[in-house]
Amino acid sequence: MSIKGAQTSAAGGKHTAAIRDEFWGSYIKLVQDVVIPYQYEALHDRVPEAAPSYAIANFEIAAGRKKGQFGGMVFQDSDVAKWLEAVAYSLKLKPDAGLEQRADEVIDLVGEAQQPDGYLNTYFTIKEPGKRWTNLTDCHELYCAGHFIEAAVAYYEATGKDKLLNIMRRMVDYIDTVFGPEEGKLKGYDGHQEIELALFKLYKLTGEDRYLKLGAFFINQRGQKPNFLVEEWKQRGQVTHWTGRTEHMDPAYNQAHVPVREQEVAVGHSVRAVYMYTAMADLAALTGDTALQEACERLWNNMTEKQMYITGGIGSTHHGEAFTFDYDLPNDTVYAETCASIGLIFFARRMLELAPEGRYADVMERALFNNVLGSMAQDGKHYFYVNPLEVWPQACTHDPGKHHVKAERQGWFGCACCPPNVARLLTSLDEYIYTIHGDTLYTNLYIGSELQATLSGTDVAIEQHSSFPWAGKVTLRVNPERAAEFGVALRVPSWSDGIQLLVNGQPLRDEVSAGQGYLVIRRTWQPGDVVEVVIPMQAQRIYAHPNLREDAQKTAIQRGPLVYCLEEADNGAPLSSISLAENGGFTDRFDEGLLGGTVVLEGSGLCTDPHSWEGGLYSRKKPQAQPVKITAIPYYLWGNRGAGEMAVWVKEGRA
Amino acid sequence: MSIKGAQTSAAGGKHTAAIRDEFWGSYIKLVQDVVIPYQYEALHDRVPEAAPSYAIANFEIAAGRKKGQFGGMVFQDSDVAKWLEAVAYSLKLKPDAGLEQRADEVIDLVGEAQQPDGYLNTYFTIKEPGKRWTNLTDCHELYCAGHFIEAAVAYYEATGKDKLLNIMRRMVDYIDTVFGPEEGKLKGYDGHQEIELALFKLYKLTGEDRYLKLGAFFINQRGQKPNFLVEEWKQRGQVTHWTGRTEHMDPAYNQAHVPVREQEVAVGHSVRAVYMYTAMADLAALTGDTALQEACERLWNNMTEKQMYITGGIGSTHHGEAFTFDYDLPNDTVYAETCASIGLIFFARRMLELAPEGRYADVMERALFNNVLGSMAQDGKHYFYVNPLEVWPQACTHDPGKHHVKAERQGWFGCACCPPNVARLLTSLDEYIYTIHGDTLYTNLYIGSELQATLSGTDVAIEQHSSFPWAGKVTLRVNPERAAEFGVALRVPSWSDGIQLLVNGQPLRDEVSAGQGYLVIRRTWQPGDVVEVVIPMQAQRIYAHPNLREDAQKTAIQRGPLVYCLEEADNGAPLSSISLAENGGFTDRFDEGLLGGTVVLEGSGLCTDPHSWEGGLYSRKKPQAQPVKITAIPYYLWGNRGAGEMAVWVKEGRA
């Protein structure tokens, strides 16, 4: 096999980074120490408190090692793939012979389950052997293949072992005989996008054009007339895998309503959407396809400027886990799935490769520090799939329209899409810190790390120290192997005011330019140069666009990258009785004992006095309000002190 | 047959009333001129723009007049019954030989569809002949019978014709052989309560104890262990009529989770609930059962003091068209079905018979003038089934969680439960104005009308003139056949302040006492005495209990019995940008040209200036607010000027 060259950024400029960060390091350690081993046990149905996964058992049956029925969801295989991918990243960060051994064994099993023609999917192998490729809309065959391709690439890059890579190349060779523009091949694509971005990863690793071509085919074919998913559904007798016969089939749910270059707004299932946009951006970068890049920008703008929660959550409704329409961002019936925000981070990363604009990194940071980080409990074993911005626990249990919202993180599900996605994101977080354009290194995230890059033909090591998210002090030690001219760009976060920059203790004059959300320092760097950045972090009030009706006349509180929230544990209930004083400030203090240590904010406001209420349900007499102290904690820490009310958006009233 | 005596109030004291009211008269005329004829055509599948009803066709097939399949819902028969009941009330108000002829023909058809053993139900006669009484939970057999009993009683009272009455007495005789405590009989009851209240009407008309006994059996058996509905569902193999096999069956949906006397809070499908509470109150009044009366009071208090919208709507969620829990009253995902408020009015009427307390009439008035009245368009052909308190039309079409909410009244549905219910309520509105306790006449609603009653053994005619809902002037001309001492009680509405009372132009001193929401005048009345009541109507702000999170720090506007709302047509959009000045007043003016003539309210407040917005979706800069004039119209008139935003609850802010 031919391997083009590992660890290449699409935007050019080789680089590798390793996380050395107190804040994120503890989460990565949690993933390594708890999540990956726990998931391994779960995949083997050995976690008593979790519903059986059946995922490994399915492979054992497909491999002929044992007899039995297929178990779990039609896409259950992907949980094995996501675990392998997270293991790969983890091994890259920290060798672990035992873990690698277990992964090798799983890979051996996967190989045994592969069919003679290269096909790999336990559902169709065990349960519906004659039905391959008859229900692309629902059955995730290419989706599962995509996750295994991602795992194969990651595992090769981490260990140099190519067994899984070869398994998946055989699978892709087989897929290539089934799908394509040629006579007799299916003109289809998967109902759940994923294989596209995976094929581009495989292409970047191997340099083999047919992977690029197949991925491009899937992207380009999507939404063409006649609509493949609709025709396929008709051919099946209008039957879906999930609910039986249906009267209606909406390809917008799968972003297959029109060709991708014609799509104007983010629609449908939000995870499918961002996985597709990620692949579109990859393809645009690989081919220079400006129409595709424009579509990516359009969809990015719509999604982040009209349909994104302040926490970086996307998907306003649990009906189809989907986008709804512009400015429709209800806080309490929200979906904002963890996986969708992870996909948004994937997409943001690709947009940063297409164009070095800080706004992409702003969204990446927002989704990472809030929606994604908040999804995981501090034990690594409990998760939010849905990430609400307002919770009334009784409504979660007693109002059927809010049953999908949970007031506390849940144990591992049988269908555990989000936890392994968190695991693979956090163990590969090093890939999101920097991008390189030309000979300029763009710092997108302030996360302590060690970077090795080639800039202007010179090997450069950069050591980043960061006090995020509690303080805004960042230091970069720039160590070119010899003096060299290149650019180092530092992101100016959208929330920042008065950023200060020193190089070797001195302010810069001519060497720095500002634009597109970065300060770019272009100079001849000497080994040992030190860049110091101070980004003041004070609590700020954030307001929502007047069309965002849900948040009208309310404010959210943000400090640095962290969105804050009010919890019942600190402020009592109902939180709806509280309003923040219109012009007050906040005091901040680091509370070491609270939730593992966090900056707590305090402000002042008014709270309706329940004792002043006269009447039954309605009254002509307005209840009185009393001054109160208001306490806010970072959103990502909510729901860790028992079920209670929580709110991100708070009314503003007079002092 | 024996007929005990028509037109007897359960609370004693015969009386009959006839509406003579400009405001309500026009609605009753609309029902007579448009709704009843239109429904007749709809039932015959002759309305091109409405989905076929199949209701008459089903009877023709069951009667053997023609061949064909059953069409429509399992409870489609009830639409014929409700039409007949409305026709009966209408004939009582205004003879119409042609209409009576059509009703007689329908009754002949119903009679032909009755089976030799007395059974009457076209679904089971045509479609599932062997399956009678195998799915009480879902299939509405007793429910349909109940509606026909109500129609039969009303038609007899209106016309003196007993054909339908005899048909239904035969059906009840047959039901009596199937259900009851005796060995070998089913210990069941209908999944949708209705027959209970109908049997009590039949008892009151005929005086036959077995009807009382059967109705009491259904009430008393409900929720007993082992649970009939659950056992029946298991026997059917856990299959429901609607969705096939289900894993779970919740008898709380049918208020059958515990025996009725043990029920503490309103739960489940809201129409079922209030129909049952109505029958419970009937039974309590008929038997003096204090435990049952206490249960009625408990359920009343919970429902009206914890789970009722300010418009008199009940049912917070469209999932099961049901109650959720205390203080959960979302304005935009609301159900508040028209039929549920009509059932609430039934229940309120029965509670007024149990105890003369103005609070029951307050709720009756609230539901009637707001939720129910607002459900019907001024053409009589378009209806709201769901009555929201806040609407964003785009969300109704693009947010699946709000698809059940409509921004404009809809045409007649194939399953048209609400319009015929509105028709039968409005044509029988005379029954809701007065109740008699002892020798005191209680005036519950201020609606122009002519009453004939017997008080202290004296025939009394009372002519009420009312300027409601636009002004609070009411005149009662009291005409006893000779001078007599009795009480005349005038309700003091909960919204009133400074009610004034004159008899023959003079204020009263000793003859008037106040209590339980009434002013009671006890004196020797002379023929021609005139009572004048002036209830000042000024716009008021109403506040919600602090636990009602949805309305926290907001206000609603009410003037007299009418709740007001803001519409986009008057105030622009988004309405969420508007806040009412905290301490401002309202001016009111009658606008003859607007929506058939209405009192419009104007106040002042602030509106976010969209041009002051700087930023994308979120911004650190707060948008500015500008002074605006705020215009409110009665809630019942909303949605008549095209699809637009509407809100009942409005934020309050500084002037």
Span A330-359, pLDDT tens digits: 999 999 999 999 999 999 999 999 999 999
CB atoms within 10 A of CB B376: 24
Contact criterion met (CB below 8 Å) for B624 and B609: yes
What is the rounded distance in angstroms from the CA atom of residue B437 to the CA atom of residue B424?
Answer: 26
Residue A328: C-alpha distances to residues A321, A340, A545, B395 (Å): 14, 17, 11, 7
From B550's Cα to the closest Cα of chain A, the distance in A is 8
Q: Six-digit token pair at B290?
A: 């204090």
pLDDT at residue B379 tops 80: yes
- Position B245 scores a pLDDT of 85
Residue B340 CA to residue B318 CA, distance in Å, equals: 12
Q: Rounded mean pLDDT of chain A?
A: 95
Does the structure show a pLDDT above 90 at B481?
yes
CA B520 vs CA A316, B471, B511, B512, B586: distances in Å? 55, 22, 8, 5, 32
What is the total residue count of chain B? Answer: 655
Q: What are phi and psi of A646, to 5 degrees?
A: -145, 145
Its sign, for the CA torsion A180, A185, A189, A194, is: negative
Q: For residue A68, give how far its alpha carbon lies from the nearest alpha carbon of chain B (Å).
A: 25
Say yes or no for a CB contact (<8 Å) between B617 and A544: yes
Spatial separation of the C-alpha atoms in residues A298 and A280, rounded to whole Å: 12
B395-426 pLDDT, tens digit per residue, is: 999 999 999 999 999 987 766 778 889 999 99
- pLDDT value at position B411? 85
Q: Sign of dihedral through CA atoms A407, A408, A414, A417? A: positive
Structure tokens at B257: 């989770």
DSSP B139-155: H-HHHHHHHHHHHHHHH
The structure tokens listed for A274 are 């961002």
Smallest CA–CA distance, residue A351 to chain B, in Å, is: 18
Name the β-bridge partners of B244.
B240
Q: Percent of chain B scored above 90 by pLDDT?
A: 91
Point out the residue among B546, B610, B613 whose CB comes nearest to the CB of A577. B546
Mean pLDDT of B496-509: 94
Is B337 among the residues known to form the active site?
no
pLDDT band at B337 (very low <50, low <70, confident <90, very high): very high
Taking residue A157's Cβ as centre, other Cβ atoms within 10 Å add up to: 19
Structural contact between residues B260 and B223, judged by C-beta atoms closer than 8 angstroms: yes
Task: Give chain B's radius of gyration (CA, Å).
Answer: 25
In single-letter form, the type of residue at position B152 comes to A
Dihedral (Cα; B59, B61, B62, B63), 10-degree rounding: 80
- Residue range A384-402: average pLDDT? 96
- Are B633 and B470 spatial neighbours (Cβ–Cβ below 8 Å)? no
Active-site residue among A157, A194, A321, A568? A321
Instruction: Render pLDDT for A135-189 as a digit per residue (tens, 0 to 9).
Output: 999 999 999 999 999 999 999 999 999 999 999 999 999 999 999 999 999 999 9
pLDDT at A224 over 90: yes
How many angstroms separate the CA of residue B163 from the nearest CA in chain A?
44
SS3 content of chain B, % helix, strand, coil (to 5): 40, 20, 40
State yes or no: is B417 an active-site residue.
yes
CB contact under 8 A, A545 and B619: yes
Nearest to B429 by CA among B541, B349, B533, B492: B349
Closest residue in chain B to residue A316, using alpha carbons only: B399
Nearest to B544 among A399, A549, A617 (CB): A617
Enumerate residues 526 to 555 of chain B having a beta carbon within 8 A of any beta carbon in chain A: 540-550, 552-553, 555
**How far is Cα A220 from Cα A187, in angstroms, rounded to an integer?**
10
Whether A623 contacts chain B with CB within 8 A: yes
Please name which of A207, A211, A110 lies closest in space to residue A167, comparing C-alpha atoms: A110
* Interface with B, mutate which of A311, A327, A363, A553 (most B CBs under 10 A): A553
So what's the pLDDT on residue A128?
95
Residue of A297, A304, A543, A578 to mutate, testing the B interface (most B Cβ within 10 Å of its Cβ) = A543
> How would you class B646 by CB atoms within 10 Å of its CB: exposed for 0-12, middle for 13-18, buried for 19 or more?
buried
Average pLDDT taken over every residue of chain B: 95
Of B417, B418, B565, B607, the active-site residue reads B417
pLDDT of A327 strictly over 90: yes
Contact A477, A529 (CB under 8 A): yes
Confidence of residue A247 (pLDDT cuts 50, 70, 90): confident
Helix (H) or strand (E) segment spanning residue A203? helix A195-206
- For residue B645, what are the β-bridge partners? none
Cβ–Cβ < 8 Å for A114, A48: no
Phi, psi of B43, deg, nearest 5: -65, -25
Searching chain B, which residue's CA lies closest to the CA of residue A575?
Answer: B549
How, if at all, do strands A382-383 and A484-491 pair?
unpaired
Spatial separation of the C-alpha atoms in residues B471 and B482, rounded to whole Å:
32
Which of A335, A611, A618, A622 is the best mutation test for B, with the most CBs of B within 10 A? Answer: A618
Which residues, 6+ apart, have CB-to-CB distance to A24 below 8 Å? A426, A429, A447, A448
Q: What is the pLDDT of residue B2?
A: 40
What integer is the mean pLDDT of A414-428? Answer: 87
Write out pLDDT tens, residues A71-126: 999 999 999 999 999 999 999 999 999 999 999 999 999 999 999 999 999 999 99
Give residue-wise pLDDT tens across range A120-141.
Answer: 999 999 999 999 999 999 999 9
pLDDT of residue A1: 38
pLDDT at B1 over 50: no
Burial of B145 (0-12, 13-18, 19+ CB in 10 A): buried
Q: How far apart are CA B456 and CA B474, in angstroms?
A: 24
* DSSP-derived pairing of the beta strands B434-437 and B440-443: antiparallel
| Average pLDDT over every residue of B494-505 | 96
pLDDT score for A414: 64
Q: Do A392 and B620 touch (CB under 8 A)?
A: no
For residue B306, give the nearest of A330, A617, A654 by CB distance: A617
Beta bridge partners of B580: B605, B652
pLDDT of B573-631, one tens digit each? Answer: 999 999 999 988 999 999 999 999 999 999 999 999 999 999 899 999 999 999 999 99
**Is A500 in the B-facing interface, judged by CB distances under 8 Å?**
no
Q: What are phi and psi of B554, to 5 degrees?
A: -120, 170
Residues with Cβ within 8 Å of B248's Cβ and at least 6 positions away in sequence, in order, are none
Tell me the average pLDDT across B228-247.
92
In the prediction, which pLDDT does B415 show?
Answer: 66
Q: Which residue has the tokens 């992870």?
A: A342
Q: What does pTM read for this prediction?
A: 0.95
The residue extents of the domains of chain A are 54-249, 434-534, 541-653
CA-nearest residue to A323 within chain B is B399
Q: In terms of residues, how long is chain A?
A: 655
Structure tokens at A341: 């925000």
- Taking only the tens place, the pLDDT of each residue in A285-325 is 999 999 999 999 999 999 999 999 999 999 999 999 999 99
Q: Which amino acid is at B212?
A: L
Contact residues, chain A, for B623 at CB < 8 Å? 543, 546
Whether B94 has its CB under 8 Å from any CB of chain A: the answer is no
| Nearest chain A residue (CA) to B542 | A620
The ipTM, to two decimals, is 0.95
Mutation target among B311, B553, B612 for the A interface, most CBs of A within 10 A: B553
A210: phi then psi, degrees, rounded to nearest 5:
-65, -25
Q: How far apart are CA A44 and CA A63, in angstroms?
A: 15
Check if B653 contacts A (Cβ < 8 Å): yes
| In chain A, % of residues over pLDDT 90 | 91
**Residue B114 φ/ψ region, left for φ over 0, alpha for ψ in the -120 to 50 degree band, beta for the rest:** beta
Tell me what the mean pLDDT of segment A270-297 comes to. 98
A134: left (phi over 0), alpha (psi -120 to 50) or beta: alpha
Among candidate residues A74, A78, A351, the one with its CA nearest the CA of residue A194 = A78
CB of A187 within 8 A of CB of A219?
no
Q: How many Å apart are CA A155 and CA B224, to the nearest integer?
A: 62
- The pLDDT confidence band at residue B143, using thresholds 50, 70 and 90, is very high
B613 interaction partners in chain A (CB closer than 8 Å): 545-546
Q: Is the pLDDT of residue B547 over 50?
A: yes
pLDDT score, position B14: 61
pLDDT of residue A411: 85
Q: Looking at A139, A296, A396, A417, which residue is catalytic? A: A417
CA B37/CA B42 separation, integer angstroms: 9
Cross-chain Cβ contact B548/A617 below 8 Å = yes
The residue assigned the tokens 């409305």 is B86
Asked whether A329 and A548 are in contact (CB, 8 A), the reply is yes
Residue that has been written with the tokens 């009015």 in this structure = B345
Q: Which of B547, B549, B558 is nearest to B305 (CA)?
A: B547
Half-sphere exposure of A444 (CA within 13 A, CB side): 30
Q: Does A655 touch chain B (CB under 8 A)?
A: no
Average pLDDT over residues B357-362: 98
In CATH, the number for domain B434-534 is 2.60.40.1180
Q: Pick B574's closest partner by Cβ from A318, A549, A653.
A: A549
Q: Which amino acid is at A143?
A: Y
The predicted model gives A200-208 an average pLDDT of: 97
For chain A, say whether B394 makes contact (Cβ under 8 Å). Answer: yes
**Chain A: nearest CA to B627, how far in angstroms?**
15
Residue B4 has pLDDT above 50, yes or no: no
Q: Report the distance separating Cα B551 and Cα B542, nearest Å.
A: 10
Q: Is A519 helix (H, G, I), strand (E, B) or coil?
A: strand
